[in-house]
Amino acid sequence: MAMSLKAQAAAAALKEVKPGMKLGIGSGSTVNELIRLLAKMVDDGFEIIGVPASSYSEALCKELGVPLTTLDEAPVLDLVIDGADEVDPQLNLIKGGGAALLREKIIAAASARMLVIADESKVVDTLGNYPLPVEVVPFGLEATRQMMQNSFDAEGLQGEMILRMLGEEPLVTDNGNYIFDCHLKVIRDPKSLAKRLEVIPGVVEHGLFIDMAVRAYVAGTDEIRVLEP
């Protein structure tokens, strides 16, 4: 059976994984394909140790036998491979669709290199059509919302902020926080917006990954493209 686009992108990125590497493993459905392929390599004797970026990735790695450690045991990683919700030409990303953005960014920052794996639907000219996830502390939520709105206004951005729900309750991340999904449509200056969000006390982290990814493996219907900034 032909490999899915996500699996093809994952297989291409896995060529950069060398035996004995400490590998950051992101989160999401494309990363799940990576984990499945990685588990087959481990079954064939490939030596690797992974640090998962979400409880979902951790559970799948454990289920399939991918050896794991923690960032406390391995604070410097050789490589991280992760998905994205949007990828622009500079390889700036929007991430967080799966609510794992804080751990994903911590692991990406601890990794020497970050690779992105995605199908071609994620590639955009300008970030923002995908709602920007922002992880916030539950305390003072409405004050934080107002400060975020001020940041958007200062950037000339319009957009609704929607508290991400899980059923009837706000979704709680692996770190005990909430997420606002910000429907900004077009983010002309992601770096500037990132800086404005980072100074808001109630903002824990945002889903703009700026100047972090060094290569993206993008699976299209008839080819794998390798994008670099």
User: For ligand DER, which is the closer residue by CB, 135 or 147?
Assistant: 135
Q: Is 27 in the site for ligand DER (CB under 6 A)?
A: yes
Question: For tokens 């984990």, what's the residue?
Answer: 35
Q: Is 96 in the site for ligand DER (CB under 6 A)?
A: yes
Q: Is 219 in the site for ligand DER (CB under 6 A)?
A: no
* Of 59-67, 81-89, 135-143, 166-174: span binding ligand DER (CB under 6 A): 81-89
Least Cβ distance, residue 192 to ligand DER (angstroms): 22
- Identify which of 17, 53, 14, 54 has the alpha carbon closest to the alpha carbon of residue 33: 14
- CA dihedral sign of residues 83, 87, 92, 95: negative
Least Cβ distance, residue 47 to ligand DER (angstroms): 25
Token pair of 221, please?
Answer: 């219907």
- Give residues with Cβ within 8 angstroms of 72, minimum separation 6: none
Least Cβ distance, residue 146 to ligand DER (angstroms): 26
What single-letter DSSP state applies at residue 69? -
Which residue from 18, 20, 29, 223 is in contact with ligand DER, where contact means CB under 6 A?
29
Q: Is 131 in the site for ligand DER (CB under 6 A)?
A: no
Tell me if residue 228 is catalytic. Answer: no
Which residue from 5, 7, 17, 28 is in contact with ligand DER, where contact means CB under 6 A?
28
Bridge partner residues of 161 (DSSP)? 182
- Identify which of 62, 99, 63, 59 has the alpha carbon closest to the alpha carbon of residue 83: 99
Q: Is 92 in the site for ligand DER (CB under 6 A)?
A: no
| Secondary structure in 3-state letters for 71-107 | CCCCCCECEEEECCCEECCCCCEECCCCCCHHHHHHH
Which residue from 57, 78, 91, 95 is in contact with ligand DER, where contact means CB under 6 A?
95
Q: Is 116 in the site for ligand DER (CB under 6 A)?
A: no
Contact letters for ligand DER, residues 148-187 (x by CB under 6 A): ----------------------------------------
Parallel, antiparallel or unpaired: strands 178-183 and 79-82 = unpaired
Q: Measured between alpha carbons, how far is 72 from 223 in angstroms, rounded to an integer? A: 38
- Identify which of 196, 166, 195, 193 has the alpha carbon closest to the alpha carbon of residue 179: 166
* Active-site option among 86, 104, 135, 205: 104
Contact residues for ligand DER, defined by CB under 6 A:
26-30, 82-85, 95-98, 100-101, 104
Residue numbers annotated as active site: 104
